[in-house]
Structure 1
Amino acid sequence: MSLTAFLSSRYAAFPSRDAIEMHQAAAFRRFRARAMPRSPFYRDMADLPLDRLPRMDKARLMENFSRVNTCGIDREAAFQAAIRAEGSRDFRPMIGNVSVGLSTGTSGQRGLFLATPRERRLWAAIMLGRFWPNLARPQRVAFFMRADNALYRSISNPLVRFGFFDLLSPFEAQIPRLAALNPTVLIAPARQLGLLAQMQAAGELALTPSRVISVAETLSPEDAQAIRSAFDRPVDQVYQATEGVLAMTCRAGNLHLNERWLRIDREVIDAETGAFCPIIHDFTRESLPILNYRLNDVLVPDPRPCPCGCASTRIARIEGREDDMLWWRSGRSRRMVSAEAIRTTIACLPQSLRDYRVIQQGEELHLWLEGAGVGADGALSTAFEDLAKRLDCALPRLVFHNGLPDERDEKKRRRIKVLPGAASLGPPDQETPLSDLRSGKTIPVVSRSAASSASPG
């Protein structure tokens, strides 16, 4: 199985949608016969169509964890094992031969994942098959993550030296060990890759990776360009959640859904762009079945065929979480404003700008600008007004801040996000006091097309 996974991940590509659907149908026949009967939760549902299985999300999966998993592991025992590992930073202990991991997620809600030896070998085969730079040479892998796990260490073998770099440890203190390792494969969230790229560009590091891989956070185009420039390498992406490896970049540099190992259906939230929330059916995760599982991430498909020749769904970009989508008023309805539109508007400013945050709350759009040149606030106001006109919607009231907000408690960096109380397709959440935003100097700039003039949605 591992050798097959390695070879297919490295060399095989689906030539058509029919080939993908035939492969998935066969895989699910095996999964229904082998895995579902071992799950107390699913054993009586093995003959149901996938879309008639109970709709899952993190909360419901965790509520039913003890009955869903096929390993007989109690939820509280798994939580205690994962929390002990988090506290001690010793991630070696397992429950039997099953590794247990804890995920807080972007929302902060706790989740668990399990990995059997077979699942760990499969994950390692997929990752090594896709990203091993040169089969003729040993590799050195540096992996920056919040938590270690036997799953990640499964890529270690006599030809791969694995180094885990703890994101909860002081970043600067780990640089000498990173320099000594001089990894051939560098894997980290976009924020850490950006910091390393800055050090590389400043001559404080001299790393020579053959592969640079962004994980865990949305990689913005400006970050990708800075990282690529610093390391003189394209930046690959692995879109992985607690629920599995959902997408990876191909050899042509485009992101594809991982349809060899998952079936991913779509719940479209914006008909114009085709933006959708993925509904996952995983036919490889037997320890903790992931079936009819809805993620609140928003993906934008790219209908163009990929030069790599693979027919797996191509993804133009990962917008972020569903509850971090910007929705601006358009008459009595609302229109989704993509993160890409916001980034492009800021990138086209004639004034210099080191970094930024865009935070929507209710009918206010807070713009935090670091290193902004003279007149950036006025130019950005005009640019956002033009964007709102093109999208035929009303621009929220703009509030400008110097510098960046305090992000020490942020688990994942998001340049563009929504706080509770922001306009959405559903009812607004409980309001968060605006005083929570104001840790920098505020420049009161009110758009001429303020949202207060729009009809209520």
Structure 2
Amino acid sequence: MSLAAFLRTRYAPAFASRAAIEAHHARGFRRFRRAVMPRSPFYRPLSAVPLEALPRMTKARLMENFSEINTCGIDRERAFEVALAAERSRDFSPTIGEVSVGLSTGTSGQRGLFLATVRERRLWAAILAGRFWPGLARRQRVAFFMRADNRLYRTLANPMLRFEFFDMLAPVEDHLPRLAALRPTVLIAPARMLGLLAGAQAASALDLAPARVISVAETLSPQDRAAASAAFECRVDEVYQATEGVLAFTCPAGRLHLNERWLRIERDVVDPDTGAFCPVVHDFTRESLPILNYRLDDVLLPDPRPCPCGCASARLARIEGREDDMLWWPGEGGRRLVSAEAIRSILAALSEPVRDWRVIDHGDRLEVRLDGVDAAGAARAGAQLEPEIAALGRRLSCTPPPLDVQSGLPPEGGAKRRRIVVRRQGNLDAFAHPSPSSGRTLQKSGGGIGT
């Protein structure tokens, strides 16, 4: 672990202004242009090009040019071989030299690779430990639930920290004895797993007392947060981490901030009314696989209010979900973005005892699947939902599609839970969401947030 990065993350004063953040980024990228970009065959001839003029990167383009972009001389096919072998064997220890290789599918199902050198693994561990370490007086025990292990995660282990990986592909019941024996002081898991563990705790199948509970990898809904917080009797923090790095985490006041000490994040605004945007990432710390002008398909909702913690780093109200899974309903003035939070709030107010739900937009109908109710309960819920959805449409000046309410959840299509899914067909695809960057402007991460 990098002691300097740990101390900086834990004790350095928060950025007091946007000007301070801009100056910090300028210094970071001067070094990056000088020391890192010349080592990448792809970026070597572009080391003097302004950030915004660099080729726009997506996961597909990054993977297409992986062999030329990375600075470690690692061939893409060799990296895929190592990563896929680890997935099949569930042994995630092999590396290429000293570089760890990981495989990511995200929520889109598109395979991606990430690399992490020894230095990058130590930096990642220092940032997360500096932010979330419960206390310095005793040895900590971390239970980490994830689809795949990696040396990146193992870097957290040190004489003051015991780290245990729990494979999410195994049934949750199989983990309970080892989890009880570990008695973790830090519990890290996707929101779906936190919900299952909270249920086990409420049913007395577990008796954990973690000092920290951290949600990762999936959107954390208010309901998931409340259930985990009540079960484990502590605040639930959130880390928004993608293959492209740690993009945001909660501050000491419990609010979600972009990680602007280590990244520059600009905004491709997808909904001017709310300011909802897809992040465009420039990472001035990642050296093995440079991440520059990289647009993610996650939609984030900014919070313009100053944070009680005093940090000027951009604040987020929430992470809405994937851009492809945003609900866009037709209105007089054009498409209107319907927030996932609005849908969640309506479903949370149902009188039926719903355990979980999914909303699937087929274009010609809005399918709502409810777990915990039978067919009669689904019919009653539909009668309650119909006027609520219509009222939401009136508030947003748009027209919702017809409702189709059913009992039971559909089969999960991937490793990550997606409560809202868009499955429009044919010419409806063009209407489901705007095309990237069409008629939109790119904004810096600040945009007046938290100044």
- The 10-residue stretch of structure 1 (331-340 or 238-247) with the greater mean CA deviation from structure 2: 331-340
SS, match of residue 83 in structure 2: helix
Q: 1:95 to 1:155 in 2, by over 3 A?
A: same
SS across alignment from 2:266: strand
CA positional deviation for 1:402 = 1.1
C-alpha displacement at 1:383, in angstroms?
A: 0.7
**Equivalent position of 1:57 in the other structure:** 58
Deviation of the 1:39 alpha carbon: 0.2
For 1:36-435, list aligned pairs within 5 A.
Answer: 36-331=37-332, 333-372=334-373, 373=377, 375-407=380-412, 409-421=413-425, 426=430
TM-score by length of 1: 0.91
Residue 173 of structure 1 deviates from its aligned partner by: 1.1
Match of 1:375, SS state, is helix
Unmatched 5+ stretches in structure 1: 430-457
Distance 2:348 2:221 in 1: 11
| Cα drift, residue 171 of structure 1 | 2.2
C-alpha separation in 1, matches of 2:366 and 2:276: 22
Unaligned runs of 5+ residues in structure 2 are 434-451
Instruction: Tell me the CA shift for residue 266 of structure 1.
Output: 0.2
Q: For the residues of structure 1 that align with 2:213 and 2:60, how far apart are their CA atoms? A: 33
Give CA-to-partner distance per residue, 1:76-117, whole Å, 9 cap, x none: 000001111111111111000000001111111110000001
Residue correspondences, number: 428
Offset of residue 174 of structure 1: 1.5
Partner in structure 1 of residue 6 of structure 2? 6
2: CA distance, partners of 1:423 / 1:277: 24
Give the secondary-structure state (helix, strand or coil) at the position aligned to 1:114. Answer: strand
Which one is further off, 200-209 or 398-407? 398-407
Kindly state the Cα deviation for residue 428 of structure 1 after the two structures are TM-superposed.
Answer: 5.9
Say if 2:15 and 2:311, in contact at 8 Å, map to a contact too: yes
8 Å Cα contact 1:327-1:423 kept in structure 2: no
Q: Distance in 2 between matches of 1:162 and 1:132?
A: 13
Question: Secondary structure, in 3 states, of the residue corresponding to 1:400?
Answer: strand
Paired residue secondary structure (1:266): strand
Greater shift, 345-354 or 17-26, is seen at 345-354
Q: Supply the distance in 1 between the matched residues of 2:324 and 2:299 (Cα, whole angstroms).
A: 9
CA contact (8 A) 2:328 2:432 kept: no
Output the amino acid matched with 2:270.
I
1:427: how far off? 5.1
In the TM superposition, residue 332 of structure 1 has moved relative to its aligned partner by 6.6
Distance 1:140 1:126 in 2: 17
Aligned 8 A contact 1:68 1:289 in 2: yes
The change in CA–CA distance for 1:427 and 1:392 in structure 2 (over 3 A counts) is: closer
Q: Distance in 2 between matches of 1:427 and 1:206?
A: 49
Cα-Cα RMSD: 1.5
Alignment partners' CA distance in 2, 1:70 and 1:135 = 36
SS at match of 2:142: strand
Structure 1 position 35, deviation (Å): 0.3
Q: Distance in 1 between matches of 2:380 and 2:78?
A: 57
Give yes or no for contact 2:360–2:366 (8 Å, CA) kept in 1: yes
Paired with 2:275 and 2:299, the residues of 1 have a C-alpha distance of 10
Could you tell me which amino acid in structure 2 is paired with residue 414 of structure 1?
R
Measure the CA separation in 1 of the matches of 2:90 and 2:304: 43
